[in-house]
Amino acid sequence: MTRIRFQRSLDDLKEKLLVMAGLAEQAIQRAVEAYRVRDLSICDLVSRSELAINRLEREIDQSALDILAMEQPMAIDLRFILAVIKINADLERVGDAAKSISDRVRTMESMAVADLPVDIPRMAALASNMVRRALQAFIEADPEMAQSVLSMDDAVDGMNRAAHITLAQVMGTESHLAPQALNALMVCRSLERVADHATNIAEDVIFWVKGADVRHKASVDAAKVAAAQAD
Amino acid sequence: MTRIRFQRSLDDLKEKLLVMAGLAEQAIQRAVEAYRVRDLSICDLVSRSELAINRLEREIDQSALDILAMEQPMAIDLRFILAVIKINADLERVGDAAKSISDRVRTMESMAVADLPVDIPRMAALASNMVRRALQAFIEADPEMAQSVLSMDDAVDGMNRAAHITLAQVMGTESHLAPQALNALMVCRSLERVADHATNIAEDVIFWVKGADVRHKASVDAAKVAAAQAD
């Protein structure tokens, strides 16, 4: 395989991953819209997206394998292909999270509408934004942009924790709203998971571009602090 | 690199992945034990395991990259290395699930002990068993054993759904137990996630051994049925 053909196959791989990311992001937006307006026909769209996402995941993995099998890629290309394989798996799980949310919407059909003290569309917008930005960082090979995704994750974690506390209070004090509050809580949890996947993607981008592994840096730092305190 | 040295580096990679799996399984067992006896010192052990698991994840990824960079592996070896990379990521997330459970235990400290109608140790035993069996299938390159893990996942899903219904009822009817019930529900959710990771691992084993991609087979079949019905 010539270098030009090899480069083209890498570009194709990147292109497919961008389509995958677009599908995953759309699935989340649709699922949250289904939750907001309680529309089961949108849930059907989410289920169909999930099938398309699953098919594309296999196709991307196979393309990555084909490239590895045909050519002995150089270190930087290997890192890129490894990043694609990992980002692919994370995007597929964003699709799963969208499916989980739309499954929640289906169980809500029989419940009374409740005005709960939690802003799910805002949390969803932030989580989707993280996915979009992580992929943008991937396209532009921009580790600083990827780094900014890592900071956004704290905001989503904070929103999820706050929602958890508020909704647990609703369950305790207004028990007739417990099913709705529990559903909202599960939706928040799925969105927090989307943010986690965006974080994983951002870490993979940094790993690919910088060759340095930032994953678990925070926990390694925490371990150092703990060790220092133990001395 | 000679074929013998290459084979040895693959064996080393497999060995590291088994250590990783042992750590992940132990972390889940410890986290559930911490939940059962409400022991925060066990939570500290889980936090330490998580650090070790995170470090080992990086080490395994780097070893996989090194092997890919040094040698142009044949198709079957490529599939094996790809399987290791994916299983590695799933095991790291089993460690995350253990950490989530132990975080729940920490919030329980101030709550009264509640006897809830849910058998968390049983669900945990089943989920751990799935992880162990998926890794066993990997060691023995046994797709039938991997297949049996996929069937076990339905049992864990069923237990999780039943727990969800029962605990939601507790929240509605005995609101003073709502915080404990919510915690139990989150622990069930984490265990269901462990079972999902075991399922992913089993699918990767089948992909590696058979070269056939069973992932999403069920959803592809469902899509065919849906398409047939639409006709």
Q: Which residues of B touch A173 (CB under 8 A)?
A: 175
Q: How many CB atoms lie within 10 A of CB B219?
A: 17
The pLDDT score that the predictor gives to residue B1 is: 59
Q: Which residues of B touch A171 (CB under 8 A)?
A: 171, 175, 178, 182
| Per-residue model confidence as pLDDT tens digits over A145-180 | 999 999 999 999 999 999 998 998 888 888 888 889
Distance from the B129 Cα atom to the nearest Cα atom in chain A, whole angstroms: 23
Cα distances from A16 to residues A48, A52, A94, B52, B201, in angstroms, run 18, 12, 16, 35, 24
Burial B117-138 (b: 16+ CB within 10 A, else e): ebebeebbebbbbbbebbbebb
| Per-residue model confidence as pLDDT tens digits over B168-191 | 888 888 888 888 999 999 999 999
Is A54 in Cβ contact with B215 (below 8 Å)?
yes
Q: In this structure, which topology does domain A3-223 adopt according to CATH?
A: Methane Monooxygenase Hydroxylase; Chain G, domain 1 (1.20.58)
How would you write A172-194 as a 3-class SS string? HHCHHHHHHHHHHHHHHHHHHHH
The pLDDT score that the predictor gives to residue B213 is: 52
Q: How many CB atoms lie within 10 A of CB A195?
A: 27
A167/B80 Cα distance (integer angstroms): 45
Element (H, E) at A36: helix A3-37
Q: How many CB atoms lie within 10 A of CB B176?
A: 9
Among A125, A61, A197, A167, CA closest to B81: A61
Distance from the B15 Cα atom to the nearest Cα atom in chain A, whole angstroms: 21
Q: What's the average model confidence in pLDDT over B19-38?
A: 96
Among B43, B131, B61, CA closest to A216: B61
Cβ pair B131, B28 in contact under 8 A: yes
Tokens of A191: 């969105």
B221: nearest CA partner in chain A: A51
Q: Is domain B3-218 in CATH 1.20.58.220, yes or no? A: yes
Distance from the A78 Cα atom to the nearest Cα atom in chain B, whole angstroms: 7
Q: Which residue has 């990997």 as its token pair?
A: B138
CA atoms B196, B201, B204, B206: torsion sign: negative
ipTM of the complex: 0.76
Cβ pair A42, A30 in contact under 8 A: yes
